[in-house]
Chain A
Amino acid sequence: MFDRSVLDLDPAGEVHEISVRLRDIVQKRLRCRGVVVAVSGGIDSSVTCALAVRALGPGRVFALLMPERHSDPDSTRRGLLLADALGVARVVEDVAPALAALGCYRRYDAAVRRVMPNYGEGWRSKLVLPGDVLDSDRVNVSQLVVRAPGGAESTVRLTADVYLELVATTNFKQRVRKTLEYFHADRLRYAVAGTPNRLEYDQGFFVKNGDGSADVKPIAHLYKTQVYALARHLDLPEEICGAEPTTDTFSLPQTQTEFYFALPYREMDLLLWARSHAVPAADAAAALALQPVQVERVYRDIERKRAVAAYLHLPPVLVKPVDPGPPWERQDTPGVGE
Chain B
Amino acid sequence: MELRSMIRDFVVENFLFGDDTRLGSDDLSLLDNGIMDSLGVMDLVAFLESRLGLQVPDSDLVPQNLDSVDNLVAYVERRRATAA
B46 touches A139 (CB 8 A): no
Cross-chain contact of B46 among A143, A160, A304 (Cβ < 8 A): A160
| A139-B62 in contact (CB<8A) | yes
- Interface segment, B2-10, B20-28, B36-44? B36-44
Q: A17 an interface residue at 8 Å Cβ cutoff?
A: no
A163 with B39: CB separation less than 8 A:
yes
Interface centre among A138, A141, A158 (most CB of B within 10 A): A141
Cβ A141 vs Cβ B41 within 8 A: yes
* Docked pose: A135 CA to B62 CA in angstroms: 12
The reply to whether B62 and A160 form a contact with Cβ atoms under 8 Å apart is no
> In angstroms, how far is the closest chain B Cβ from the Cβ of A161?
9
Contacts of B31 on A, CB cut-off 8 Å?
Answer: 139, 304
Assuming the A-B contacts A138-B58, A139-B31, A304-B37, are A160 and B43 also in contact, with contact meaning beta carbons closer than 8 angstroms in the complex?
yes
Q: Is the CB of B42 within 8 A of A307?
A: no
Shortest Cβ gap from B51 to chain A (Å) = 14
Q: Are A160 and B58 in contact (CB under 8 A)?
A: no
Inter-chain contact total with CB atoms closer than 8 Å: 43
Interface size class of B (residues with CB under 8 A): 10 to 19
B61 & A138 in contact (Cβ 8 Å cutoff): yes
A307 near B38 with CB under 8 A, answer: no
Check B63 for interface membership: any CB of A closer than 8 A. yes
- In the assembled complex, the Cα of A120 lies from the Cα of B42 at a distance in Å of 25
Question: Pick the contact of B38 from A136, A137, A140 — CB < 8 Å?
Answer: A140
Residues of chain B within 8 A of A130, CB atoms compared:
58
A residues neighboring B (CB under 8 Å) = 130, 136-143, 157-160, 163-164, 300, 304, 307-308
Which B residues form the contact surface with A (CB < 8 A)? 31-32, 34, 37-39, 41-43, 45-46, 58-59, 61-64, 66
Query: Can you give 17 contacting A-B residue pairs, CB < 8 Å?
Result: A137-B62, A137-B63, A138-B61, A138-B62, A139-B38, A139-B61, A139-B63, A140-B38, A141-B38, A141-B42, A141-B45, A141-B61, A157-B58, A158-B42, A160-B46, A163-B42, A164-B39
